[in-house]
Chain A
Amino acid sequence: MHIVCPFCGERSVAEFSYEGDATVERPALDASTEDWCAAVYDRVNPRGPHAEYWQHSFGCRAWLRVERDTLTHRISGVRLAGRHAGTAGPAGQGA
């Protein structure tokens, strides 16, 4: 599996750390215990397209949001995660 980092280009998955399901929304600080438990523990765990965070730990250390199919391991999109999302460098979308 290769991931196309928006800054560094196509790199082996060995350079990246998996950081989990990107669809989980962090509840507000004053949200209920039940909402927090659901966010911390409960997952959709789809068999198919999945949005997830990866960090390019052994590269530029950027956090990425990767669209990947859990059944085929095919990656259909990579972009920078967080408040700079969409401003990534020339490598652009991954394949």
Chain B
Amino acid sequence: MAEYSVFSLIGNALTGNRRWKPAWRAAAPKPTYDVIIVGGGGHGLATAYYLAKEHGIHNVAVLERGYVGGGNVGRNTTIVRSNYMLPGNAPFYEWSVKLWEGLSADLNYNVMFSQRGVLNLAHSPAQMDAYARRGNAMRLFGIDAELLDRAQVAKFVPSLDVSPDARFPVAGGLLQRRGGTARHDAVAWGYARGADRRGVDIVENCEVLGFLRDASGRIVGVETTRGEIRAGKVGVAVAGSTGEVMRRAGIERLPIESHVLQAFVSEPLKPVLDTVVTFGAGHLYVSQSDKGGLVFGGDIDGYNSYAQRGNLPVVEDVASLLLTMFPAYGRLKLLRSWGGIMDMSMDGSPIITTGPLPGLYLNAGWCYGGFKATPASGWCFAWTIANDRPHDLNAAYSLDRFHRGRVIDERGAGPVPWHH
């Protein structure tokens, strides 16, 4: 398939845009592969892409139950950042931001990564102290962080209510200028096309029903709605469906619960907000998409759910927080809302590991931070599958850390998945 470029754009425009080819083949599954990735979301596609690009493993299939871009990679608020504090997390997410910075050129696909900054608001001196600590920790990891006072926040986000009369007056904030947003669908499509161009078969409408084992108990393939497919290695990257898919491999319990997270888009506006802002006295994050809609979300609903839809109390909570920050948005109409199923881990941090069975590899537990991690998650998972051991960047993301007292609890919330 041809490179996308300004010349291909002009050439196709002059011929009525009738010569564009599909970005990836509609592959039918072959009987055997070197590696099967279960789950054609962002992480699974990125894994296949990096397996082919970085490790020369091209005989790979990505099996997707629905269609590419139909799961959480199409159901998020598109925020990218690496403002983490703990050693297990910060280098991993920073590596992800670095991959984001070169991703459009790497994929030859415009993922519209826009480093418009991510600003966490603080509303009290104690919170400013906590952000100073977080910012210092980030800078020790080589991640950019700036502590802003109230006047600097007011200048950076002109439409924000920073008056002393606000319900929770703004004291300042922690800004990561290299954070921002990306076009979520383009990330899925770009990785799918990139993997396809390197020989990966992307098989849609193919649900994994069970796992094949040899006499020693090793996983040697999968049973799907499109027949048996064998493979030397099987990686699972299915986000909210992790529990259900792993149950088909005989794993009954994991340190994960599935919860529903809602997100919202307003009607489109002229440019009014050119950064990502998060509220500090509640939970809300908001940015403006390139189409003009305000994209925002808050807490998960807070109970186990696979329903891909939430309840009204969260809608009310999120809307009231948005108006607390930006009273001027009060007349806006809500255009769309949706729910995605989050694989909430017990410590709020992910799992990228070999096992838990021979021949099987697991990528899960992304809570609601999976989108920004897509490049590094795929990169590390591919490395782990290719080398049969974790890379230094994901060594802390083991499955047995919960039983060894090595949890990575960024929020300090304890083993309560709906509080992370």
Contacts and interface: CB of A to CB of B under 8 A. Distances in A.
Interface of A: 1, 12-14, 17-18, 20-21, 34, 37-38, 40-47, 50, 52, 54, 68, 70-73
A40 B303 CA distance: 17
Given A18-B418, A47-B306, A70-B306, 8 more contacts: A14-B316, A20-B418, A21-B257, A41-B255, A41-B402, A45-B304, A54-B303, A70-B307
Interface string B239-275: 0010110000000111111100000000000000000
B27 to A, nearest CB: 28
A12 B313 CA distance: 9
Contacts of A12: 313
A13 to B, nearest CB: 6
B313 A14 contact: yes
A18 to B, nearest CB: 4
A26 to B, nearest CB: 13
Nearest to B317: A14
A50 B253 CA distance: 14
Interface string B10-33: 000000000000000000000000
In this complex, which of A17, A47, A71 has the most chain B Cβ atoms within 10 angstroms of its Cβ?
A47
**Main SS at interface, chain A:** mixed
B114 interface: no
Interface in B271-309: 302-307
Contact of B415 (A34, A40, A46): A40
B418 A45 contact: no
Contact of A43 (B244, B256, B305, B313): B256
A37 B254 contact: no
B418 A70 contact: no
Contacts of B243: 43-47
Contacts of B257: 21, 43, 45
A3 B313 CA distance: 14
Contacts of B306: 47, 70-71
Nearest to A50: B304
Contacts, number: 69
Contacts of B241: 47
20 contacts: A13-B311, A18-B303, A20-B416, A21-B304, A37-B403, A38-B253, A40-B346, A40-B415, A43-B253, A43-B255, A43-B257, A45-B253, A45-B257, A47-B241, A47-B258, A50-B304, A71-B306, A72-B307, A73-B305, A73-B307
A40 B256 CA distance: 11
Interface residues of B, number: 25
A39 B207 CA distance: 31
A45 B415 CA distance: 14
B208 to A, nearest CB: 14
Contacts of A73: 305, 307, 311
Interface string B111-136: 00000000000000000000000000
B337 to A, nearest CB: 16
Contact of B311 (A1, A40, A47, A52): A1
Nearest to B416: A20
Contacts of B303: 18, 52, 54, 68
Contacts of A40: 346, 402, 415
Given A13-B313, A42-B253, A34 B403 contact: yes
Contacts of B244: 47
Interface string B310-333: 010100100000000000000000
Contacts of B302: 17-18
Contacts of A46: 243
Nearest to B415: A40
